[in-house]
Amino acid sequence: MVEFVHLHVHSEYSLLDGAARVDDLINRAKELGFKALALTDHGNLFGSIEFYVKAKEAGIKPILGMEAYIVEDIEKKDRNYYHLTILAMNEKGWKNLMKLSSVGYIKGFYGKPRIDKKHLEEHSEGLIILSGCPSGEIAHYIITDNFKKADETIGWFKEVFKDRFFLEVQDVGMEENQKINNYLLEASRRFNLKLVATNDVHYINREDKHLQDILICISQNAKLSDANRFRIDTEEIYMKSAEEMLKLFSWHPDAVKNTLLVAEMVDLKLELDPQRLKLPLPPNVSDPFEDLKRKAYEGLKRKMGEIPENYINRLEYELEVIKNTGFSGYFLIIEDIIRFCRENGIMVGIGRGSAAGSLVLYALDITDVDPIKYGLLFERFLNPERVSPPDVDIDFEDRRRDEVIDYIRKTYGENSTAQIITFSKLKSRAVLKDYRFKALRDAQNLKKIGDIEEDEEVEIMGALTHFSKKKFKNGTKLTLRLEDDSGYIDAIIFINEDPISFEKKLSENLVLYVKGKVQAVEGEGEDDEEETYLEVKVDSPENIKTVEEFLSIKLSEKLNLDRIWNKFLAEKNYTFNGAKEKDIKEEFVRFWIKEIAGEEFAVKVPYEWGLKVLKALSLEGAKILEKNGDNPSLLGARAIILKDLKLWDEFLRRVV
Query: Does 15 reside within a domain?
Result: no
Q: Which of 545, 562, 581 is the last residue of a domain?
A: 545
- List 479's β-bridge partners, or say none: 468, 493
Least confident of 359-363, 369-373, 562-566: 562-566
DSSP, res 8? S
Q: Which of 223, 243, 265 is the last residue of a domain?
A: 265
Query: Does 589 reside within a domain?
Result: yes
pLDDT of residue 56: 96
Range with top average pLDDT, 47-61, 424-438, 525-539:
47-61
114 shares its domain with 254: yes
51 shares its domain with 128: yes
> Residue 535's domain spans which residues?
443-545
508 shares its domain with 572: no
Stretch 317-339: mean pLDDT: 92
592 shares its domain with 650: yes
356 shares its domain with 453: no
Coil vs helix vs strand at 584: helix
Q: Residue 158: give its domain's CATH number.
A: 3.20.20.140
Query: Does 106 reside within a domain?
Result: yes
Q: How many CB atoms lie within 10 A of CB 21?
A: 16
Query: Does 429 reside within a domain?
Result: no
Q: Which of 244, 265, 286 is the last residue of a domain?
A: 265
For residue range 471-511, list pLDDT tens digits in order.
443 333 444 433 333 333 333 444 444 444 444 444 444 34
Query: Does 424 reside within a domain?
Result: no
Q: Which of the four pLDDT bands, split at 50, 70 and 90, describes residue 465?
A: very low
- List 448's β-bridge partners, or say none: 453
> Per-residue DSSP letters for 152-198?
HHHHHHHHHHGGGEEEEE--SS-THHHHHHHHHHHHHHHHT--EEE-
97 shares its domain with 125: yes
644 shares its domain with 530: no
Query: Does 282 reside within a domain?
Result: yes
Report the relative pairing of strands 82-88 and 112-116 from DSSP bridges. unpaired
pLDDT of residue 298: 95
Burial class (CB in 10 A: 0-12, 13-18, 19+), 558: exposed
pLDDT at 259 over 60: yes
Stretch 430-453: mean pLDDT: 38
pLDDT at 93 over 80: yes
Q: Which residues contact 247 (CB under 8 A, 6 or more apart)?
A: none
pLDDT of residue 568: 74
For residue range 274-286, list pLDDT tens digits in order.
667 778 888 888 8
93 alpha carbon, distance to own chain's centre: 25
End-to-end Cα, the chain, rounded Å: 38
Task: With CA atoms as reference, report the closest residue to 30 among 66, 57, 67.
Answer: 57
63 shares its domain with 185: yes
pLDDT of residue 178: 96
For residue range 511-521, list pLDDT tens digits in order.
445 555 555 44
- Whole-number average pLDDT of the chain: 77
More confident residue, 390 or 5: 5
pLDDT at 428 over 50: no
518 shares its domain with 606: no
Least confident of 51-60, 255-264, 336-345, 473-482: 473-482
| Type of residue at 634 | L
Q: Which residues contact 412 (CB under 8 A, 6 or more apart)?
A: 280, 333
Stretch 445-454: mean pLDDT: 39
Percentage, residues of the chain above pLDDT 70: 66
pTM of the model: 0.64
The domain total for the chain is: 4
Query: Does 390 reside within a domain?
Result: yes
pLDDT at 116 over 60: yes
Burial class (CB in 10 A: 0-12, 13-18, 19+), 313: exposed
Query: Does 3 reside within a domain?
Result: no
Longest dimension (CA), the chain: 85
Percentage, residues of the chain above pLDDT 90: 48
pLDDT of residue 226: 83
pLDDT of residue 167: 98
Least confident of 4-8, 47-51, 195-199, 421-425: 421-425
528 shares its domain with 571: no
226 within 8 A of 445, measured Cβ to Cβ: no
For residue range 553-568, list pLDDT tens digits in order.
555 544 556 667 777 7
More confident residue, 535 or 610: 610
pLDDT at 256 over 60: yes
498 shares its domain with 619: no
39 within 8 A of 47, measured Cβ to Cβ: yes
131 shares its domain with 61: yes
132 within 8 A of 139, measured Cβ to Cβ: yes
pLDDT of residue 644: 44
For residue range 568-597, list pLDDT tens digits in order.
777 766 554 444 555 666 677 777 777 766
Coil vs helix vs strand at 329: helix
More confident residue, 623 or 466: 623
